């Protein structure tokens, strides 16, 4: 919903929006990214790049070779298996909170949504196989899990040594991902975006350029209180 809102908000104000696959990255002699080559939309040049390619770290790790520091030795939960469980909330009601349930090799999240429960088992693959985790999750959910497809995920636990490299900023799970303490990272988001903004005082990405973003935030808060 947020992505749709921001896309529409930007396009209405003349921001170009390209949806494509990045297939190559061009870097100058200083190690600054100058452009990304896309599959169908050609070369896209830029001054500032934000890498949001998740665990892959396409720009920051693959192109700029920024090292990834693993936290695996102290946070061993590196895999997850998830189910989308349809529930009629009109009949069963909806819990007002997410529930975390301790398991032998990790924990299960249960997130109530309007038409389903999002649930999954985050576990340490050193101590539990994917089949075993799926079986335990299905047993936890009960008969409602029958016939549902399970989604298995691998997670890269740790952080990039630096989340800002030359003219590239890594965002979200690139910067840091540890399933146990995500809320701390999310609380850091506003501070990080402020830091990005302040790195370009008075330039093309100065405070003036950020006013539409602040306005968008206010609009979003009004529409989705």
Ligand X SMILES: Cc1cc2nc3c(=O)[nH]c(=O)nc-3n(C[C@H](O)[C@H](O)[C@H](O)COP(=O)(O)OP(=O)(O)OC[C@H]3O[C@@H](n4cnc5c(N)ncnc54)[C@H](O)[C@@H]3O)c2cc1C
Residues in 17-36 that interact with ligand X by CB under 6 A: 21-22
DSSP 66: P
Residue 152 touching ligand X (CB under 6 A): no
Min CB(66)–ligand X separation in Å = 15
Residues in 161-190 that interact with ligand X by CB under 6 A: 172-174
Which residue number, 117 or 174, has a Cβ lying nearer to ligand X?
174
Binding-site size, ligand X (CB under 6 A): 17
Residue 44 touching ligand X (CB under 6 A): no
Min CB(21)–ligand X separation in Å = 4
Given the rule CB under 6 A, which of 47-55, 69-77, 87-95, 211-219 is the region that contacts ligand X? Answer: 47-55
Min CB(1)–ligand X separation in Å = 12
Which residue number, 135 or 180, has a Cβ lying nearer to ligand X?
180
Residue 63 touching ligand X (CB under 6 A): no
**Cβ neighbours, 10 Å, residue 121:** 28
Q: If you count them, how many residues does the chain have? A: 225
Three-state DSSP class for 60?
helix
Which member of 103, 111, 135, 213 binds ligand X (CB under 6 A)? 111
Which residue number, 190 or 206, has a Cβ lying nearer to ligand X?
190
Residue 54 touching ligand X (CB under 6 A): yes
Residue 78 sits at the vertex; the CA angle it makes with 77 and 83, to the nearest 5 degrees, is 90
Distance, CA of 47 to CA of 49 (rounded, Å): 7
Q: Which residues contact 18 (CB under 8 A, 6 or more apart)?
A: 38, 41, 44
Q: Which residues contact 50 (CB under 8 A, 6 or more apart)?
A: 168, 169, 170, 171
Distance, CA of 106 to CA of 136 (rounded, Å): 11
Closest CA to 199 of 176, 159, 165, 161: 165
Residue ranges in contact with ligand X by CB under 6 A? 21-22, 52-54, 56, 58, 80, 82, 111, 120, 122, 153, 155, 172-174
């Amino acid at each position: 919903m947020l992505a749709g809102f921001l896309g529409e908000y930007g396009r209405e104000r003349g921001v170009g929006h390209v949806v494509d696959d990045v297939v190559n990255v061009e870097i100058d002699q200083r190690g600054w990214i100058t452009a990304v080559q896309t599959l169908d939309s050609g070369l896209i040049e830029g001054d500032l790049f934000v890498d949001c390619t998740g665990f892959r770290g396409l720009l920051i790790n693959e192109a700029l070779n920024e090292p990834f520091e693993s936290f695996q030795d102290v946070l061993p939960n590196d895999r997850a298996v998830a189910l989308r469980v349809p529930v009629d909330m009109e009949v069963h009601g909806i819990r007002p909170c997410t529930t975390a349930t301790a398991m032998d090799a990790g924990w299960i999240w249960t997130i109530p949504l309007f038409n389903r429960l999002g649930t999954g088992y985050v576990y340490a693959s050193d101590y539990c196989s994917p089949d075993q985790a799926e079986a335990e999750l299905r047993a936890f959910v009960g008969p409602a899990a029958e016939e549902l497809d399970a989604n298995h995920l691998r997670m890269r636990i740790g952080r990039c040594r630096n989340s800002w490299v030359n003219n590239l900023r890594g965002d979200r799970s690139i910067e840091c991902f540890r399933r146990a303490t995500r809320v701390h990272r999310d609380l850091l988001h506003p501070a990080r975006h402020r830091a990005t903004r302040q790195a370009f005082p008075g330039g093309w990405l100065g405070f003036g350029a950020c006013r539409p973003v602040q306005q968008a935030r206010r609009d979003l808060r009004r529409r989705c209180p």
